[in-house]
Amino acid sequence: MPIDIPMAAKKIKIAIDGPAASGKSTTARAVARRLDYLYIDSGAMYRAVTLAALEAGVPTTDETRVAELAGTLEITFGRNNEATEIYLDGTDVSAAIRAPRIVAHINPVAANSRVRQILVAKQQSLGKSGGVVMDGRDITTVVFPDAELKVYMQASAEERARRRVAELSVKDIAADFDEVLASIEQRDRADLTRIHGPLKQAPDAIVIDTTALTIAEQVEKIYRLARDIIERKD
Protein backbone atom coordinates (compact mmCIF):
# COMPACT_ATOMS: atom_id res chain seq x y z
CA MET A 1 0.00 0.00 0.00
CA PRO A 2 1.48 3.38 -0.94
CA ILE A 3 1.67 5.71 2.00
CA ASP A 4 0.11 9.12 1.54
CA ILE A 5 2.76 11.79 2.03
CA PRO A 6 1.27 15.08 3.17
CA MET A 7 1.73 17.85 0.57
CA ALA A 8 3.78 19.91 3.05
CA ALA A 9 6.46 17.21 3.17
CA LYS A 10 7.03 17.53 -0.59
CA LYS A 11 7.80 21.23 -0.47
CA ILE A 12 11.46 21.93 -1.11
CA LYS A 13 13.74 24.94 -0.69
CA ILE A 14 15.19 26.49 -3.84
CA ALA A 15 18.21 28.74 -3.32
CA ILE A 16 19.46 30.96 -6.15
CA ASP A 17 22.61 33.07 -6.01
CA GLY A 18 24.37 35.19 -8.57
CA PRO A 19 25.78 38.63 -9.29
CA ALA A 20 23.82 41.89 -9.69
CA ALA A 21 21.36 41.96 -12.59
CA SER A 22 21.88 38.31 -13.59
CA GLY A 23 18.11 37.88 -13.86
CA LYS A 24 17.76 36.06 -10.55
CA SER A 25 14.78 37.94 -9.19
CA THR A 26 12.61 37.72 -12.31
CA THR A 27 13.48 34.05 -12.73
CA ALA A 28 13.06 33.13 -9.07
CA ARG A 29 9.71 34.90 -8.88
CA ALA A 30 8.41 33.12 -12.00
CA VAL A 31 9.58 29.71 -10.71
CA ALA A 32 7.84 30.39 -7.37
CA ARG A 33 4.64 31.32 -9.19
CA ARG A 34 4.68 28.10 -11.23
CA LEU A 35 5.26 25.95 -8.16
CA ASP A 36 2.89 28.01 -6.00
CA TYR A 37 5.80 28.67 -3.63
CA LEU A 38 6.72 31.74 -1.61
CA TYR A 39 9.29 34.04 -3.24
CA ILE A 40 11.71 35.94 -1.01
CA ASP A 41 13.98 38.63 -2.45
CA SER A 42 16.79 38.76 0.14
CA GLY A 43 18.46 41.73 -1.60
CA ALA A 44 15.34 43.78 -0.83
CA MET A 45 16.08 43.27 2.88
CA TYR A 46 19.62 44.73 2.57
CA ARG A 47 18.09 47.57 0.56
CA ALA A 48 15.48 48.16 3.31
CA VAL A 49 18.13 48.40 6.04
CA THR A 50 20.09 50.86 3.85
CA LEU A 51 16.95 52.97 3.36
CA ALA A 52 16.20 52.95 7.10
CA ALA A 53 19.74 54.12 7.90
CA LEU A 54 19.58 56.93 5.32
CA GLU A 55 16.20 58.05 6.63
CA ALA A 56 17.44 58.01 10.23
CA GLY A 57 20.54 60.00 9.26
CA VAL A 58 22.83 57.13 10.29
CA PRO A 59 25.88 56.85 7.99
CA THR A 60 25.82 53.35 6.49
CA THR A 61 29.54 53.08 7.34
CA ASP A 62 28.73 53.31 11.08
CA GLU A 63 28.69 49.54 11.72
CA THR A 64 27.47 49.66 15.32
CA ARG A 65 24.61 52.07 14.78
CA VAL A 66 23.46 50.40 11.56
CA ALA A 67 23.47 46.99 13.29
CA GLU A 68 21.51 48.41 16.24
CA LEU A 69 19.01 49.95 13.86
CA ALA A 70 18.68 46.69 11.87
CA GLY A 71 17.85 44.87 15.12
CA THR A 72 14.86 47.14 15.76
CA LEU A 73 13.34 47.05 12.26
CA GLU A 74 10.29 45.05 11.36
CA ILE A 75 10.77 43.90 7.76
CA THR A 76 7.83 42.08 6.20
CA PHE A 77 6.86 40.99 2.70
CA GLY A 78 3.45 41.32 1.06
CA ARG A 79 2.40 39.48 -2.08
CA ASN A 80 5.55 38.98 -4.11
CA ASN A 81 4.16 37.31 -7.22
CA GLU A 82 4.38 40.31 -9.58
CA ALA A 83 6.97 42.54 -7.90
CA THR A 84 8.61 42.54 -4.49
CA GLU A 85 6.27 44.14 -1.98
CA ILE A 86 8.23 44.99 1.14
CA TYR A 87 7.28 46.86 4.30
CA LEU A 88 9.49 48.58 6.81
CA ASP A 89 7.73 48.98 10.16
CA GLY A 90 4.42 48.76 8.31
CA THR A 91 5.27 51.32 5.58
CA ASP A 92 5.40 50.16 1.96
CA VAL A 93 8.99 50.83 0.80
CA SER A 94 8.87 48.72 -2.38
CA ALA A 95 9.60 51.70 -4.66
CA ALA A 96 11.88 53.62 -2.27
CA ILE A 97 14.39 50.73 -1.97
CA ARG A 98 14.99 50.81 -5.76
CA ALA A 99 16.25 54.42 -5.79
CA PRO A 100 19.85 54.75 -7.09
CA ARG A 101 20.96 56.33 -3.76
CA ILE A 102 20.30 52.98 -2.07
CA VAL A 103 22.82 51.12 -4.22
CA ALA A 104 25.29 53.98 -3.71
CA HIS A 105 25.24 53.34 0.07
CA ILE A 106 24.53 49.60 0.29
CA ASN A 107 28.02 48.04 0.27
CA PRO A 108 28.90 48.79 3.92
CA VAL A 109 25.48 47.46 4.96
CA ALA A 110 26.00 44.20 3.05
CA ALA A 111 29.50 43.89 4.54
CA ASN A 112 28.26 44.46 8.13
CA SER A 113 28.50 41.07 9.88
CA ARG A 114 25.92 41.89 12.56
CA VAL A 115 23.43 43.09 9.96
CA ARG A 116 24.03 39.85 8.02
CA GLN A 117 23.41 37.78 11.16
CA ILE A 118 20.10 39.53 11.76
CA LEU A 119 18.92 39.25 8.14
CA VAL A 120 20.11 35.65 7.69
CA ALA A 121 18.12 34.64 10.81
CA LYS A 122 15.00 36.34 9.38
CA GLN A 123 15.51 34.63 6.00
CA GLN A 124 15.94 31.22 7.63
CA SER A 125 12.80 31.67 9.64
CA LEU A 126 10.79 32.76 6.55
CA GLY A 127 11.87 29.65 4.64
CA LYS A 128 12.02 27.08 7.40
CA SER A 129 9.01 25.03 6.31
CA GLY A 130 10.11 24.85 2.68
CA GLY A 131 7.96 25.77 -0.31
CA VAL A 132 10.21 28.76 -0.87
CA VAL A 133 12.37 30.22 -3.61
CA MET A 134 14.93 32.68 -2.24
CA ASP A 135 17.53 34.61 -4.21
CA GLY A 136 20.58 36.60 -3.19
CA ARG A 137 24.33 36.23 -2.77
CA ASP A 138 24.73 33.80 0.15
CA ILE A 139 21.52 31.79 0.02
CA THR A 140 23.11 28.58 -1.29
CA THR A 141 26.13 28.88 1.04
CA VAL A 142 24.96 30.46 4.33
CA VAL A 143 21.17 30.81 4.53
CA PHE A 144 20.09 27.43 3.14
CA PRO A 145 23.15 25.23 2.62
CA ASP A 146 20.60 22.39 3.03
CA ALA A 147 18.40 23.54 0.11
CA GLU A 148 17.33 20.65 -2.12
CA LEU A 149 17.99 22.75 -5.23
CA LYS A 150 20.84 25.25 -5.46
CA VAL A 151 21.41 27.36 -8.54
CA TYR A 152 24.17 29.81 -9.38
CA MET A 153 23.08 32.18 -12.16
CA GLN A 154 25.68 34.12 -14.06
CA ALA A 155 25.90 36.30 -17.17
CA SER A 156 28.58 38.54 -18.63
CA ALA A 157 28.85 42.02 -17.07
CA GLU A 158 28.01 43.62 -20.46
CA GLU A 159 24.84 41.58 -20.85
CA ARG A 160 23.82 42.39 -17.27
CA ALA A 161 24.41 46.11 -17.91
CA ARG A 162 22.29 45.90 -21.09
CA ARG A 163 19.47 44.27 -19.11
CA ARG A 164 19.65 46.88 -16.33
CA VAL A 165 19.51 49.75 -18.89
CA ALA A 166 16.49 48.12 -20.58
CA GLU A 167 14.81 47.62 -17.19
CA LEU A 168 15.30 51.31 -16.36
CA SER A 169 14.12 52.45 -19.78
CA VAL A 170 10.81 50.62 -19.24
CA LYS A 171 10.44 52.82 -16.15
CA ASP A 172 11.31 55.88 -18.31
CA ILE A 173 14.64 56.32 -16.52
CA ALA A 174 17.45 57.21 -18.92
CA ALA A 175 20.71 55.47 -18.04
CA ASP A 176 24.16 55.60 -19.54
CA PHE A 177 25.41 52.11 -20.49
CA ASP A 178 29.02 52.77 -19.40
CA GLU A 179 27.93 54.13 -16.03
CA VAL A 180 25.62 51.17 -15.42
CA LEU A 181 28.39 48.75 -16.44
CA ALA A 182 30.88 50.46 -14.10
CA SER A 183 28.39 50.27 -11.22
CA ILE A 184 27.75 46.56 -11.87
CA GLU A 185 31.47 45.82 -11.97
CA GLN A 186 32.02 47.79 -8.77
CA ARG A 187 29.22 45.86 -7.01
CA ASP A 188 30.63 42.54 -8.30
CA ARG A 189 33.97 43.40 -6.70
CA ALA A 190 32.30 44.30 -3.40
CA ASP A 191 30.09 41.17 -3.46
CA LEU A 192 32.97 38.82 -4.27
CA THR A 193 35.53 40.19 -1.84
CA ARG A 194 33.62 40.90 1.38
CA ILE A 195 34.57 38.74 4.36
CA HIS A 196 31.07 37.88 5.56
CA GLY A 197 28.58 36.29 3.17
CA PRO A 198 30.51 36.88 -0.07
CA LEU A 199 29.08 35.77 -3.39
CA LYS A 200 30.52 32.36 -4.25
CA GLN A 201 29.45 29.19 -6.00
CA ALA A 202 28.38 26.43 -3.64
CA PRO A 203 30.19 23.23 -4.74
CA ASP A 204 26.85 21.48 -5.31
CA ALA A 205 25.12 24.39 -7.08
CA ILE A 206 23.99 23.99 -10.67
CA VAL A 207 25.57 26.77 -12.71
CA ILE A 208 23.36 28.40 -15.31
CA ASP A 209 24.89 30.98 -17.63
CA THR A 210 22.03 33.17 -18.77
CA THR A 211 23.96 35.38 -21.22
CA ALA A 212 22.29 33.73 -24.21
CA LEU A 213 19.06 32.60 -22.54
CA THR A 214 15.65 34.22 -22.41
CA ILE A 215 13.80 34.58 -19.10
CA ALA A 216 11.34 31.89 -20.25
CA GLU A 217 14.23 29.48 -20.93
CA GLN A 218 15.82 30.17 -17.53
CA VAL A 219 12.52 29.65 -15.75
CA GLU A 220 11.86 26.41 -17.61
CA LYS A 221 15.33 25.04 -16.74
CA ILE A 222 14.99 25.70 -13.02
CA TYR A 223 11.34 24.60 -12.94
CA ARG A 224 12.29 21.23 -14.55
CA LEU A 225 15.13 20.71 -12.07
CA ALA A 226 12.76 21.49 -9.20
CA ARG A 227 10.01 19.16 -10.49
CA ASP A 228 12.52 16.30 -10.80
CA ILE A 229 13.61 16.75 -7.20
CA ILE A 230 10.04 17.11 -5.93
CA GLU A 231 8.96 13.96 -7.80
CA ARG A 232 11.91 11.97 -6.47
CA LYS A 233 11.01 13.16 -2.96
CA ASP A 234 7.41 11.90 -3.32
Binding site for ligand CDP (CB under 6 A): 20-21, 25, 42-43, 46-47, 106, 110, 136-139, 187, 191, 197
H or E stretch covering 39: strand 38-41
What minimum distance in Å lies between the beta carbon of 168 and ligand CDP?
11
Residue 119 and residue 49 in contact, taking contact as beta carbons nearer than 8 Å: yes
Q: Which amino acid appears at position 15 of this protein? A: A
Between CA 11 and CA 9 the distance in angstroms is: 6
What minimum distance in Å lies between the beta carbon of 192 and ligand CDP?
10
Helical residues (DSSP H) of 73-156, grouped into ranges: 100-111, 113-127
E strands, 107-183, are 132-136, 149-154
Q: Which of 222, 231, 187 is nearest to 31 (CA)?
A: 222
Comparison of 19 and 225: residue with beta carbon closer to ligand CDP: 19
What minimum distance in Å lies between the beta carbon of 138 and ligand CDP?
5
What minimum distance in Å lies between the beta carbon of 4 and ligand CDP?
36
- List all residues 6 or more positions away from 62 whose beta carbon is below 8 Å from its beta carbon: none
Comparison of 107 and 219: residue with beta carbon closer to ligand CDP: 107
Comparison of 186 and 224: residue with beta carbon closer to ligand CDP: 186
Comparison of 42 and 219: residue with beta carbon closer to ligand CDP: 42
Count the helices and strands in the chain (H runs, E runs).
8, 8
Residue 81 and residue 89 in contact, taking contact as beta carbons nearer than 8 Å: no
What minimum distance in Å lies between the beta carbon of 98 and ligand CDP?
8
What minimum distance in Å lies between the beta carbon of 170 and ligand CDP?
15
Comparison of 49 and 219: residue with beta carbon closer to ligand CDP: 49
